[in-house]
Chains A and B, each alone.
Chain A
Amino acid sequence: MLQYIIRRLLVAIPVLFGILLVTFVLARMIPGDPCKAILGEKATVEVCERFARDHGLDQPIVVQFGIYAKDILRADFGESIRFSRPVSQILVERLPMTIELAVGGLLLAILIGVPLGIISAMRHNTGTDVATMVVANIGISMPVFWLGLMLAYLFALVLKGTPFWLPPSGRLSAGLVSVPFYEAWSWQLAPGTTWTKFLEFISNHFVFNALITGNWKILKDAVQHLILPVFALCTIPMAIIARMTRSSLLEVLGRDYIRTARAKGAIERRVLIGHALRNALLPVVTILGLQMGGLLSGAVLTETVFGLAGVGRMLFEAITARDYPIIQAFTVVIAVCYMLINLIVDVSYAFLDPKVRLD
């Protein structure tokens, strides 16, 4: 097992190098002068020269890549050209939003998708099965941004004044502030240290922070704000999971060991949960990792629709503003997260299925 994990990690290294190279090259290829984009069209030659010197842009491109790769590996992402602030600080502020969105989306997709798939497979070829699969097909075909806008219209405007009203944008209602748990518990922290940044990063997950500090008002408000974007984001993975669960379960239910279990006189529920589902869910686990990529892509659109300050939206804005450090750092972080998730999925697959020979 350990050998497998190490080998899997080693394979990831060239891919990681490729990701670094691609982000670096892409960021450098974006047309336009970052100096003029940041300081304005009227920036003089001297000012731009100093700007290039300050940001290392006057070095040969290979040296720039060397500096970049070294910095990234030390988790030093440099300073945003546009905001003149450390990129790591911006990540600490923006990443939690996207994590809440993506994790919420994946959880909801599993919680609805798997049972839908099971029901559909159990009632194979009945009206329920057809209806579920029609819904799943429609779910796969819906553009995230359209569904988001339509949900916002329905829940924020049409249902205004009813208990079903939900906020159409933002993370918290105006006037509410999420107090970080370390402040609520009066911890003394030295500002600027990695440990403080890490705690700040954790506390920026508003739902988690409210949960551990027992601030139910903030918790309710944050969850309310998350419902619409999470639902819009989760429809496609949910539909894919439902279809996958259904087809995988149908295949397993036709196997000999299911017939054996039934012949032994096991009750249907036991056959389903103890024998069929355990085996049927393995392929579903594999696609969960792949769905994370879809969720991260969808996050750009969802964050745009719901006015959320996450990494997707930030990255999009950075690209239009040619803010190289942010583009590079955010793309690398997202790609590395995606790679790690798929690594975890691969390893967990080997844990779940004893038949998978690891070497």
Chain B
Amino acid sequence: MMSLKGAADSLSDGIDEQWLQTKPISLWKTTLRRLLRRKTGIVGLILIGFMMTMAIGAPAFAPYDPEQVLIGKEKVRKREAPCIHLLGCPSERPQHLMGIDGNFRDQLSRVIYGARVSLSIGFTTVLFAFFGGTILGAIAAYWGGWLDNLIMRIMDVILGFPSLLLAIAIVAVLGPGIRNALFAISIVTLPAYARVMRASVLSIKEMDYVAASQALGASRLRILLTRIVPNALTPIVVLSTLGIASAILDAAGLSFLGLGAQPPTPEWGTMLGAERNQVFSAPHLVFFPGLAIMLTVLGFNLLGDGLRDALDPRLNH
């Protein structure tokens, strides 16, 4: 009978030492590689990259200060249509690619600066909902029992309301303003994250490596934080990307109703809301902010789709 050592030696003979030393490719690296192979992902990344560049470099790209009133400084008319020299606008008139708004401000500069507001709304809201939802969902699933029931019933009540209506009600309580709008949107989106996290934790809880950790005597908190949560993050990352898109849309909706960002903040929804009655006489003031919202939201939706496909092991890559 072969000794145990002999058996181990003969087994390791067939393994290439070099192969053992190669670093495993991480999930996120593989995902990025797959994402870059998908057109939707690339288009999404380009759109988001473009908007982020606009947001970061706003002072460099914007020809005017977004809150600067041009009356008395230039010969401009209220709600003047775009003047583009290349398209035949006389060169003696100052160029305003997106026209002038109802307060004699350059619309292009406001749209560019709007990227800052909208992107920060998107990221902040999702960050809050992400952490809140992840923690609540993980606790509910891992501890179970009455705590699970309590947390999930509260989430059910929040889900019982159409999201924008609840957000409107919350903002009405806290008072209009961008910070309260952010908070309201975070609250109404939180249940989605909690539910997804709970579902992933519930399935991962039963995995062998969790049982192994338990057998090794790891504490519940340690198992939750180092074994379960990192492995349950995949679906919630996809949800967050798509969540940024809907957060931007909802925030724009609140601002459109006058409950979000307040004038003169250059926020796309606020700009649209302020000029909505002028749509027949000055359509450019409605068109451009809306287009900016659409392109940003589209970017995050496409990236979210691409990420979902890239992270889905069932799809044939």
Residue of A nearest to B281 (CB): A157
Q: Decide: B163 and A297 in contact? CB cutoff 8 A.
A: yes
Contacts of B170 in A (CB 8 A): 26
Binds B, one of A54-62, A78-86, A266-274, A314-322: A314-322
Complex: how many Å from CA A339 to CA B158?
A: 12
Q: Decide: B286 and A144 in contact? CB cutoff 8 A.
A: no
Q: Decide: A15 and B169 in contact? CB cutoff 8 A.
A: no
A145 at the B interface (CB under 8 A): yes
**Total contacting residues, chain A, CB less than 8 A:** 46
Contacts of B172 in A (CB 8 A): 26, 30, 319-320
Residue of B nearest to A299 (CB): B162
CB-contacts of A116-173 with B (<8 A): 137-138, 140-147, 149-150, 152-153, 156-157
Are A153 and B280 also in contact (CB < 8 A) when A19-B157, A143-B253 are?
yes
A65 at the B interface (CB under 8 A): no
Binds B, one of A45-53, A106-114, A300-308: A300-308
Q: Decide: A157 and B280 in contact? CB cutoff 8 A.
A: yes
Q: Decide: A146 and B302 in contact? CB cutoff 8 A.
A: no
Residue of B nearest to A251 (CB): B314
Complex: how many Å from CA A152 to CA B273?
A: 15
Q: Nearest-CB distance from A294 to chain B (Å)? A: 7
Are A297 and B154 also in contact (CB < 8 A) when A141-B245, A146-B290, A150-B286 are?
no
Q: Decide: B293 and A146 in contact? CB cutoff 8 A.
A: yes
Residue of B nearest to A330 (CB): B165
Complex: how many Å from CA A298 to CA B257?
A: 12
Q: Decide: B162 and A143 in contact? CB cutoff 8 A.
A: no
Contacts of A301 in B (CB 8 A): 164, 253, 256-257
Chain A interface, >50% SS class: helix
A38 at the B interface (CB under 8 A): no
Residue of A nearest to B297 (CB): A141
Q: Decide: A138 and B298 in contact? CB cutoff 8 A.
A: yes
Complex: how many Å from CA A14 to CA B153?
A: 8
B175 at the A interface (CB under 8 A): yes
Q: Number of A-B pairs whose CB atoms are under 8 Å? A: 133
Complex: how many Å from CA A293 to CA B250?
A: 13
- Proximity bits, A14-53, B CB within 8 Å = 1, else 0: 1100110011001001110000000000000000000000
A327 at the B interface (CB under 8 A): yes
B35 at the A interface (CB under 8 A): no
| A315 touches which of B165, B245, B269, B272 (Cβ 8 Å) | B165
Q: Nearest-CB distance from A13 to chain B (Å)? A: 11
B121 at the A interface (CB under 8 A): no
A258 at the B interface (CB under 8 A): no
B181 at the A interface (CB under 8 A): no
Contacts of B161 in A (CB 8 A): 19, 22, 293, 331, 334-335, 338
Q: Nearest-CB distance from A115 to chain B (Å)? A: 21
B27 at the A interface (CB under 8 A): no
Complex: how many Å from CA A143 to CA B289?
A: 11
A296 at the B interface (CB under 8 A): yes
Q: Nearest-CB distance from A298 to chain B (Å)? A: 8
Contacts of A145 in B (CB 8 A): 253, 256, 272-273, 276
B287 at the A interface (CB under 8 A): yes
Q: Decide: A150 and B173 in contact? CB cutoff 8 A.
A: no
Contacts of B279 in A (CB 8 A): 149-150, 152-153
Q: Decide: B276 and A149 in contact? CB cutoff 8 A.
A: yes
B229 at the A interface (CB under 8 A): no
B59 at the A interface (CB under 8 A): no
| B165 touches which of A146, A152, A300, A305 (Cβ 8 Å) | A300
Contacts of A23 in B (CB 8 A): 169
Q: Decide: A140 and B301 in contact? CB cutoff 8 A.
A: yes
Q: Decide: A300 and B169 in contact? CB cutoff 8 A.
A: no
Q: Tell me which of B157, B273, B294 has the highest count of chain A C-beta atoms within 10 A of its own C-beta.
A: B157
| B298 touches which of A30, A137, A320, A327 (Cβ 8 Å) | A137
Q: Decide: A143 and B305 in contact? CB cutoff 8 A.
A: no
13 CB contacts below 8 A, A to B, read: A15-B153, A18-B153, A26-B173, A140-B297, A141-B245, A141-B249, A142-B290, A146-B289, A294-B162, A312-B165, A316-B168, A331-B169, A339-B160
Residues of B at the A interface (CB closer than 8 Å) are 40, 153-154, 156-157, 160-165, 168-170, 172-173, 175, 245, 249, 252-253, 256-257, 269, 272-273, 276, 279-280, 283, 286-287, 289-290, 293-295, 297-298, 301-302, 305
The 9 closest A-B pairs by CB, nearest first: A146-B290, A18-B157, A297-B164, A141-B298, A141-B297, A296-B162, A319-B172, A297-B162, A293-B162
